[in-house]
Amino acid sequence: MAKDIILRLSIRSVRLHLLRSILAALGIVIGVVAIASMGMMGANMTLSVTDQLSDMANILVVREYTGGGMRMITTGGGGAQAIFSGSGSSDDQDWVTDKQFKDIQRIAAQYGTIYAVYSQSDRIEVGSLGGRTTIYGLDTAVIPEIFTLQEGAFPKSTNQVMVGPMLAERFGLTLGTRIDIGNPDEGTTTVRVSGILEERGMSMDMNTDSAIIGSQKLYTGIYGGEGEYTQVNIVLDDIDNADQAITDLKDELNKKGDVITVQDSSRMMESITSTLSTLTGFVMSIAGISLLVAAVSIFNVMMMSVTERIREIGILRSIGTQKGEVRRMFLYEAGILGLVGAGIGAAASLTLGYLVVLAMVGTTSYFFTPQSLIYVPFAMAVGIGICVASGVYPAWKASNLDPIEALRAE
C-alpha cells in the first residue's frame, strides 16, 4: 500500500476505470514498441556495418589521379570495386608507377605498412564451371602480414594462389584445386589453390572474399605491366595519423598538380554510420507519431477524469488539500498510465525488436549490446514523459477549480 495518500488516490482512480486506463495506456505501449524497435534496428544495423568495416578502417588507398570521375567495375564474386577514371588525367595512365610507389614508401613509411596491389578482372574456369573474378597480385613478403587463412598455406611459388571463401564456395574450390585464369581463346594460365582465406567482409581496399590472390610475379606474368600498380595500400599503425599521412602524401606528390588521390577508409565508415544514424533518427521520428496519438488519448482520458471528479476535487480542497497536491494527484495518474504503458511496451519491444532486427539486419549478434538496448529505456522515458506532459493541463485545470463550485457539482 502506498504511503503517499495522494499516490494512493491516483492508483485507486486508475483502477476504478481500468478498461479506460488500459486503452489509453495501449497507445503508449504501441509508441514505445515502435520507437524502441526502430532504434534497436538502427543500432544493430550500424553495429553490424561498423563491425564489417572496422577491419579496414585504418587503411589508406592511394590511386593515380584520373580527374574524379567514377566508374564501377563488377568483380567476379559479385562485389563492386570503385576505381576512378576521367578526362582530368595528365598522362592518361590509370596506375601508380613504381617511382610513385617508392615515393609513397619514403613519405609514409613512418605511419605503417605499405604495399602495392595489382588487380584485374578476368575470366576463370574450374573444371566445367566458368565465370569472372578479380585477380590480385601482391608482394609475397607482405601477404602473411595482411591476410588470415581459413586453411592451407600462403603461396610459395608463382603458380600457387589463395582464394576468398565466397569464391571457394561458388566454384567448390578446395586445397590443390586447379584454376585456369584467362580467356580460353587467348590462352590461359593454370594455378593451384594453396590456401583459402578467412572471410574479410566489406572492404574499401580490396574485395578478397570473391577473388584470387597470387604473387606479383604471377600477375605480371599473365598481364604484364610490371611496376604499374592499380593502387598502393597503407595500413596505418595508428588511425589517428590518417589526416597527417594524407597531408604528407598530397603535399609532396600533388605539389605540381593532382597526381594521386588518397581514399581514407575511416572517413568512409564515419560517413556510412552517420547516414545510418540519420536514417534511424528519421524512422524513429515516424514511429514517434504513434506516441503523439497516444498523448491525445491520455489527454482525453485525463480531462474525462477531471470532469467526473469535480465534486471529489471540491471535497479534497474543502478538507485542506492544497492546489499543488491536487495537481500532483492528476500528474501521478498520468504518470501511472505512462509507467504501465511504457513497462509493457519495453517488455514487448524486447520481443518484437528482436524479431524486427532478425528480419531486417539478418543477425541478432548485436541485439543485447548496450548501444542497442539503450533504446528501450529511451523509449520508456519518452513514453512516460509524453504521458505526464499530457496530464499537465488537466491537472492544472483540476487544481484551479473553485472549491465552492466544485462542491456543488453532482
Partner 1 sequence: MGAVSVIELDHVTKIYPLKAGDVVALDDVTLRIDRGEFIAIMGPSGSGKSTLLNQIGCLDVPTRGDLLISGKNIRKMIDQELTTLRLATIGFIFQKFNLIPVLTAFENVEYPYLMKNRREDITGRVRNLLLSVGIDNAMAQHRPPELSGGQQQRVSIARALVNDPAILLCDEPTGNLDSKTGDQIMELLVELHRQGRTIITVTHDARVSRFADRIISLTDGRVS
What residues make contact with partner 1 under the rule CB under 8 A?
Answer: 3, 5, 8-9, 12-13, 16, 311-312, 314-323, 325, 403-404, 407
Which phi and psi (to 5°) does residue 52 adopt?
A: -70, -35
User: Given the complex with partner 1, which of 238 and 402 has the nearer CB atom?
Assistant: 402
User: Given the complex with partner 1, which of 47 and 401 has the nearer CB atom?
Assistant: 401
User: Given the complex with partner 1, which of 123 and 397 has the nearer CB atom?
Assistant: 397
Task: Quote the radius of gyration of the chain (alpha carbons, Å).
Answer: 33
What minimum distance in Å lies between the beta carbon of 318 and partner 1?
6
User: Given the complex with partner 1, which of 16 and 355 has the nearer CB atom?
Assistant: 16
Among residues 369, 366, 363, 367, which one has the least CA distance to residue 349? Answer: 367
**Do residues 306 and 398 make contact, with C-beta atoms less than 8 angstroms apart?**
yes
Distance CA 286, CA 302 (A): 25
What minimum distance in Å lies between the beta carbon of 16 and partner 1?
6
User: Given the complex with partner 1, which of 165 and 314 has the nearer CB atom?
Assistant: 314
Among residues 90, 84, 55, which one has the least CA distance to residue 70? Answer: 84
What minimum distance in Å lies between the beta carbon of 336 and partner 1?
14
What minimum distance in Å lies between the beta carbon of 14 and partner 1?
10
Kind and range of the H or E run holding 190: strand 189-197
Distance CA 13, CA 11 (A): 5
Q: Is 250 in a helix, a strand, or coil? A: helix
User: Given the complex with partner 1, which of 76 and 314 has the nearer CB atom?
Assistant: 314
User: Given the complex with partner 1, which of 204 and 406 has the nearer CB atom?
Assistant: 406
What minimum distance in Å lies between the beta carbon of 304 and partner 1?
16
Partners of 211 in the beta sheet? 134
What minimum distance in Å lies between the beta carbon of 391 and partner 1?
18
Helices marked H in 309-365 — which ranges?
A: 310-318, 323-361
C-alpha torsion sign, points 61, 64, 65, 71: negative
What minimum distance in Å lies between the beta carbon of 299 and partner 1?
22
Q: Which residues contact 369 (CB under 8 A, 6 or more apart)?
A: 43, 47
